[in-house]
Amino acid sequence: MSATRIKHKVNHVSLVVDRSGSMRQHEAQLVRVVDEFVKGLQEESDRLGHETRISLYAFDHEVKNLVWDMDVKHLPSLRGLYEVNNGATALIEAAVKSIDDLKNIWEGYGEHSFLQVVVTDGEENASGCSETGKMHIRMDGSQGTAVLRRWTGRIQSAMDNLPDHWTSAILVPNSLAKRTAQEYGFPAGNIAIWDADSSKGVEEAIGTVKTAATSFLRGREQGVRGTRNLFTMGQDLSTAEVKANLDALDTGKYFLIPVDQQTQIRDFVTRAGHTYKTGCAYYELSKREKIQGNKQLAVAEKDPATGRMTGRVFSGPAARQLLGLPGSEATVKPGDNPSYTVFVQSTSVNRKLVPGTKLLVIL
């Protein structure tokens, strides 16, 4: 009797969350963001039949593992695990430890992939504190600089040597922290800014992480085991997915119009000789945007060799799910896809269009 071994995809996710003193005012917000990220992993893993295992680290000036490689379906709310301390921020040490620990997981059978997500509201100031007894900011200037340089070298080395099936991402509080994260080696497409000080910012962060969870797991279905564009949208969209799930719009019932100047959307459509109706116009996703849950999406086909649009456009109710967008509001950046460009429905009359892009008008 012959036997067939089951081939399955195994995802190992490591969440590395800041619990330093400055997080006290953001504790409830962090719990919501992380819980929604985990929920996204649970739902998509179930839908796709993946095995997803999760580890959880919390750090201030010390790094502690709270959960190790647990089935994501069994992970309880972070509310019962996470508690803010009064310590400093050993961000680099936490990220490096998470990577080092995950490397101990055996990959002999199955198709494994690794995802690390770090969440912080501040910047590094305490890695190696347990060795020196002092934070960087409390050391002599030259000594503190030397310690920080050593730890910066460690995380840069860790990031540079990550295998192709590893992804490391981070949520940071502002643009300065984003630049620092890039210096550490986090790819620009794997860095997102979250505003923990406002309910609006927290809702955007929830949309961002849920989209990332969905995008990561769906990318695995296309053979993508690691990505440098976790927080971008559309980069992994394939021709097979588009043709199987979306409808080709009838030629003659839509127009792709080049935008030659910054102008309001209704005025632009009218000048192009068409009647403007709310929802008829779709702008090209060319920069970071907030997309509401009721907005429809479309994708325009491109010639991979030239990057020019072929004129074929696809849309349908499945477009949001196909692109990894939740049913709620989410903030996304466009991914670099050689075959498709994403268009987002506008319900505004005064949205300013970006020169050099195209506008899709559906009659």
Say if residues 351 and 264 touch (Cβ distance below 8 Å).
Answer: yes
Query: How confident is the model over 129-156, as a mean pLDDT?
Result: 83
> Model confidence at 336, in pLDDT bands (50, 70, 90)?
confident
What is 9-230's CATH topology? Answer: Rossmann fold (3.40.50)
Instruction: Provide the 8-state DSSP code for 218.
Output: H
The helix/strand/coil state of 306 is coil
pLDDT at 279 over 70: yes
234: Cα within 13 Å, side-chain hemisphere:
25
Cα–Cα dist 325/212, whole Å: 9
- 43-101 per-position pLDDT tens digit: 999 999 999 999 999 999 999 999 999 999 999 999 989 999 988 999 999 999 999 99
Q: How far apart, in whole angstroms, are the C-alpha atoms of residue 340 and residue 239?
A: 9
Distance between first and last Cα of the chain: 61
pLDDT given at position 2 = 59
How much is the average pLDDT of 184-197?
88
pLDDT digits (tens, 9 = 90+) for 343-357: 999 999 999 999 999
In the three-class reduction of DSSP (H, G, I as helix; E, B as strand; rest coil), residue 227 is classed as coil
Q: Would you say the C-alpha torsion 115, 120, 124, 130 has a positive or negative sign?
A: negative
Q: Per-residue pLDDT tens for 90-125?
A: 999 999 999 999 999 999 988 999 999 999 988 898
Closest CA to 162 of 131, 184, 140: 184
The pTM of the full predicted model, rounded to 2 decimals, is 0.78
pLDDT value for 330: 75
Number of neighbours of residue 97 by Cβ within 10 angstroms: 20
The residue ranges of every structural domain in the chain are: 9-230, 239-362
pLDDT at 12: 97
Say whether pLDDT at 253 is over 70: yes
Task: Give the containing element (helix H, strand E) for 166.
Answer: strand 166-172
Asked whether 328 and 202 are in contact (CB, 8 A), the reply is: no
DSSP-assigned letters across all residues of 38-93: HHHHHHHHHHHT-EEEEEEEEESSSEEEEEEEEEGGG---GGGT----S----HHH
What percent of the chain is predicted at pLDDT more than 70?
98
d(CA 185, CA 102): 18
Q: Which residues pair with 292 in a beta bridge?
A: none
Name the residue with tokens 């409808």.
Answer: 247
**Strands 51-59, 63-71: pairing kind:** antiparallel
At 1, the pLDDT band (50, 70, 90 cuts) reads low
- pLDDT(14) > 80: yes
Higher-confidence residue of 207 and 111: namely 111
